[in-house]
Chains A and B, each alone.
Chain A
């Protein structure tokens, strides 16, 4: 375990202790809720992890890198943003994946485009969003997020 994980555990345990001191019942509910959240998501998460292992075996990061290196930087950034928009991966699985892609030589711009659209643009949740807020709102928010995700990727590719 690295320092960040240890820190996060310590912070959480301290907060739990404070919460328990202040209100036992509420803290019990906190436990039940986190158990419920985890139980509801664990099947899907393991499924996605197996999918990542599968995809990385058939298309190793080196292969993705060499495929992308032939393309223009801009085109691959757009492609990565497109893939990020249609996929629904929890961020905490995406981080180690991005780390691996960066290590194997995928450029910063492409990686950031993928990571940012992953959470900011939701093609899968588009119908639900439209139902709640209408087509115009949903279109503006998602297209706007897509454009800004590209801008963020370009800037981050420039400075990091």
Chain B
């Protein structure tokens, strides 16, 4: 049963398993070759993956993001751009994890160019990834690509700062949830890191790689726990109605 739900949650994997079975029936030699290729990539990956995840989590735990976020406003200038660059480079998770954080920063008055810098560096430039890139493609390659990408990101940010006005951005108040629940998870952006479940297993669980709520009965004790989880959530997808907390 567990395997079935695992396969359901991982569509690419399931499709590939079927594809391999078909390939094996059609041409066992080719299937063997494909498996050999895959094993090579698997071995390359398994040596580096644990470090990348641990480094990512370490950075997430120790870099004081709140302090960085306070320096991104209208008059932040060059310093703000550097802060935005640092925030993106030292963050964990896929790019969509950056969306809710950037929406929040925009509401707090962050400049469009800084948001563009955060999003692009978040997607492209990750410190652990740079080391990984140098390993395969060489130091010179990585350095050149890093310099060129950084320049591009800053140029795109300048251009967009000129053309995009704050009014172009939808005022996406997260629909304060339907039944007026005090706690709400914006599942679209959840990266399934399980932090919330670790913090309070009685409130949160992970289902198909997304966090879900286990309760709809809230007391102060539970709300306090939920707000700790909300603070620790790297993608900031747990929303708590402030007036209910205190």
Chain A contact residues, CB within 8 Å of chain B: 1-2, 4-5, 7-9, 11-12, 15-16, 19, 26-27, 29-40, 43-54, 56-58, 91-93, 95-99, 102, 112, 115-116, 119-120, 122, 125, 128-129, 131-134, 136-137, 140-141, 144-145, 148-149, 151-152, 155-156, 159-160
Contact = CB atoms under 8 A, between A and B. Distances in A.
B145 interface: yes
Given A57-B37, A96-B136, A160-B141, A128 B188 contact: yes
Given A54-B16, A156-B148, A160-B144, A91 B96 contact: no
Given A30-B60, A34-B57, 5 more contacts: A29-B57, A29-B198, A37-B53, A50-B20, A92-B132
A80 to B, nearest CB: 15
A47 B14 CA distance: 8
A92 B48 contact: yes
A54 B103 contact: no
30 contacts: A7-B131, A11-B55, A19-B62, A29-B57, A35-B194, A36-B198, A36-B206, A39-B194, A46-B13, A49-B38, A50-B19, A53-B34, A53-B37, A53-B38, A54-B16, A56-B34, A57-B31, A93-B45, A95-B132, A96-B136, A112-B145, A119-B95, A119-B123, A128-B188, A132-B100, A132-B170, A133-B102, A137-B169, A151-B152, A155-B148
B45 A40 contact: no
Contact of A137 (B15, B19, B47, B164): B164
A97 to B, nearest CB: 8
Interface of B: 6, 9-17, 19-20, 23, 30-31, 33-42, 44-45, 47-58, 60-62, 92-96, 99-100, 102-103, 106, 112, 115-116, 119-120, 123-124, 126, 128-129, 131-137, 140-141, 144-145, 148-149, 152, 155-156, 159-160, 163-164, 168-170, 172, 188-189, 191-195, 197-198, 206, 209, 232, 234
A2 B48 CA distance: 11
A2 B137 CA distance: 13
Contacts of A136: 163-164, 168
B45 A19 contact: no
| Nearest 6 A/B pairs, CB to CB | A36-B194, A53-B38, A47-B12, A43-B10, A47-B13, A4-B135
A16 to B, nearest CB: 7
B136 A132 contact: no
B53 A38 contact: yes
A93 B52 CA distance: 12
A58 B19 CA distance: 12
A124 to B, nearest CB: 9
Contacts of A46: 13, 42
A87 B168 CA distance: 28
A12 B54 contact: yes
A141 B96 CA distance: 14
Nearest to A91: B129
A134 B160 CA distance: 13
Given A30-B54, A95-B133, A49 B45 contact: yes
Given A16-B58, A48-B12, A37 B92 contact: yes
- Point out which of B23, B148, B206 has the most chain A C-beta atoms below 10 A from its C-beta: B148
B123 A92 contact: no
B135 A116 contact: no
Nearest to A95: B136
Nearest to A56: B37
